[in-house]
Amino acid sequence: MFEEQFNWNTLKNRLLVTKKLHNFKMESGTRFAVHVDQFKEIVLQMETIGEPLDETRQLVLLLGSLTDEYRMISTVLENTPNMTLAYAIQALSGVDASDESSSAQQKAFVATKSYDKRGFNGKCFYCKKTGHKATECRKKKADEERGQVARETSDYAFTATSAMGKTEWFVDSGASSHMTSVRDKFVSMKELKTPVRITIADGKKIDAVAMGTVGMKLMDGTSVTLSDVLYIPEVEGSLISVAKLAEKDVVAQFSKDKCVFRYGDATVMEAKRCGNVYKLKTVGDEVCHAATTSRKEPWAVVHARHGHIPYKRYEQLLTMADGVPRVADTPSDRVCAGYCMGKMREDNFSRNPEKTVKSAGVLDLIHSDVMGPMQTKTPGGCTYAVTFIDDFSRHVTVYFMKKKAEVLEKFKMFKADMENATGRKIKCIRSDNGREYTGRLFKEYLSKQGIRHEKTVPYTPQQNGLAERMNRSLVEMARCKLYHEGIDKKWWAEAVNTSARNLSSRT
């Protein structure tokens, strides 16, 4: 009995400590210093029962236990390379300290409505009468119902300073949206039906009256576009939200002299530290309308996004369309694992010595083939896919099926969509001799619609080479995507669909 009560290694104690660890969450209003002490105590107890937690596990559990008040700093820490537990605790403790001692010029804070309703003898800031607060003001409520008052919000924060330059952007890790007072910076703007009222660090309440997209030209000549930027005419200056960039997978890395923003392996922009703030210098107030055409992205990202296409093919794509991202780095000689795994195949068919002649117009000839059954069912239960390729434009459309018998239904859908979109009629379809194409219902439908059916000679898939090659390309690209991103095979249909859009966009 005595041993069971004081021995930590009993099953009962092991269950209690493990349960305490799994249920460990920060309570609202708790200081981080208190929370981390409680966490360290549980870590020590885990070590006592013979199940110590390594530093990485401790870091994951600690960040996952925090409340929404620490969401922003947690996001920054999660995206910081070589993060240590000690550094994370120090950074999170600094949030508590800043809440207590930061001055108005250094602190980004959120609008709040913490008023004491009892014994209020002050003046209402809205109607200027005494004896009640703005939240209780009848005139304010009546105006709000008529849509005449800006709504207050706690969603936005603002680094307080009225001496910001018009060409400077200040980096704020506490703000939840980009903000600027310079209307000329906007490429596009939409007025807000109801202005958003926020509070800045000196206590002044200001209104955001519009939201839009801003183009910036950096000192190194790079162009950057910021979306969902609030327009606030009352305060000079501009603010970049770290949280908003994090939503776009742009990571902010802070050091003692600068803040570097990265997307993947590419550096997007840098802000230099000036005193206690980080400033991003831009070239004048000129709006960069062509910002999106100048952006650069790492080749690894571009290669994966476009279905693991070769670099030479991507160079051709750059000359075919506007707005295609430039490559920020030179492709290395390292072979992409996803490409190798996805592109493994059997030998090619021998080529027909006769030149292939394209049809004269859109929908004159449609190539079709069925792929499957796939080894894994999609979440919707599909194991087959059918492709329809326009011979003239090489545009490919894919439909997914639970069984081959659905080919006729999918062809009817394809015919209706394409003929409505182009105003032309399908004249001919070319396929193999599969039963899904040679069945009575399919034949009757083609005859009724006046569509000629070209069938290949049995056991000669080369005669339907375009569809066969297209299906192989789709499967290879999809396999590359799944393998490269480590995605479960059950999502093969989504990968094939994306690959079809990639291929069609290049035609």
| Environment class of 428 (CB within 10 Å of its CB; exposed 0-12, middle 13-18, buried 19+) | middle
Nearest partner of 216 among 272, 268, 278, 257, judged by Cα? 268
Specify whether 286 is located in the same domain as 309.
no
Specify whether 282 is located in the same domain as 307.
no
Please give the pLDDT value at position 296. 57
Q: Report how far residue 108's alpha carbon sits from residue 72's, in angstroms, rounded to the nearest whole number.
A: 12
CATH number at residue 446: 3.30.420.10
Q: Report how far residue 317's alpha carbon sits from residue 295's, in angstroms, rounded to the nearest whole number.
A: 15
Confidence (pTM): 0.36
Q: What is the DSSP letter of 69?
A: G
Please give the pLDDT value at position 283. 62
The last residue of a domain, from among 294, 310, 325: 294
Please give the pLDDT value at position 112. 34
Domain assignment present for 132: no
Domain assignment present for 184: yes
Please give the pLDDT value at position 291. 36
Assigned token pair, 218: 């950096």
Going from the first residue of the chain to its last (507 residues), give the mean pLDDT of each consecutive group of 10, the final group possibly shorter: 49 81 85 86 83 87 84 73 81 62 38 41 68 71 55 43 59 78 80 74 71 78 79 77 83 85 81 80 48 52 62 62 56 51 48 58 93 89 94 93 94 94 94 91 95 81 77 84 80 90 75
Domain assignment present for 340: no
Specify whether 375 is located in the same domain as 329.
no
Between helices 85-101 and 71-78, what is the axis angle to 10°? 150
Please give the pLDDT value at position 414. 95
Domain assignment present for 113: no
Specify whether 416 is located in the same domain as 461.
yes
Q: Report how far residue 41's alpha carbon sits from residue 24's, in angstroms, rounded to the nearest whole number.
A: 11
Specify whether 170 is located in the same domain as 274.
yes
The sign one gets for the Cα dihedral 183, 186, 188, 192 is: negative
pLDDT digits 0-9 by tens, 250-284: 888 888 888 888 887 778 888 888 777 788 877 65
Q: Give CA separation, 64 vs 24, 59, 190, 228, in Å.
A: 9, 8, 37, 28
Q: What is the DSSP letter of 403?
A: S
Please give the pLDDT value at position 304. 61
224 DSSP β-pair partners: 216
Between helices 492-505 and 465-485, what is the axis angle to 10°? 120
Specify whether 282 is located in the same domain as 410.
no
Domain assignment present for 187: yes
**φ and ψ at residue 214, rounded to 5 degrees:** -115, 135
Per DSSP (E only), the strands in 75-139 are 108-110
Q: Give CA separation, 223 vs 6, 252, 287, 291, in Å.
A: 66, 18, 10, 5
Domain assignment present for 357: no
Specify whether 276 is located in the same domain as 303.
no
Between helices 85-101 and 55-64, what is the axis angle to 10°? 30
Q: Report how far residue 503's alpha carbon sits from residue 470's, in angstroms, rounded to the nearest whole number.
A: 9
Is residue 339 within 8 A of residue 476, CB to CB? The reply is no
Specify whether 307 is located in the same domain as 429.
no
Specify whether 379 is located in the same domain as 483.
yes
Domain assignment present for 288: yes
Domain assignment present for 490: yes
Expressed in angstroms, the distance from the first to the final Cα of the chain is 79
CA angle 88, 92, 98 (to 5 degrees): 145
Specify whether 288 is located in the same domain as 306.
no
Please give the pLDDT value at position 252. 86
Tell me the residue range of the domain where 490 lies: 366-505
Q: Report how far residue 134's alpha carbon sits from residue 330's, in angstroms, rounded to the nearest whole number.
A: 60
238 DSSP β-pair partners: 169, 180
Q: Report how far residue 463's alpha carbon sits from residue 354's, in angstroms, rounded to the nearest whole number.
A: 12
Number of domains in the chain: 4
Specify whether 385 is located in the same domain as 476.
yes
Nearest partner of 303 among 491, 477, 496, judged by Cα? 477
Q: Report how far residue 20's alpha carbon sits from residue 16's, in angstroms, rounded to the nearest whole number.
A: 6
Q: Report how far residue 200's alpha carbon sits from residue 366's, in angstroms, rounded to the nearest whole number.
A: 62
Please give the pLDDT value at position 302. 65
Q: Give CA separation, 367 vs 412, 430, 463, in Å.
A: 15, 5, 11
CATH number at residue 249: 2.40.70
Please give the pLDDT value at position 75. 74
Please give the pLDDT value at position 396. 93
The last residue of a domain, from among 262, 277, 294: 294
Is residue 504 within 8 A of residue 395, CB to CB? The reply is yes
Q: Beta 238-241 vs 168-172: how paired, if at all?
A: parallel
Specify whether 205 is located in the same domain as 85.
no
The last residue of a domain, from among 286, 311, 334: 334
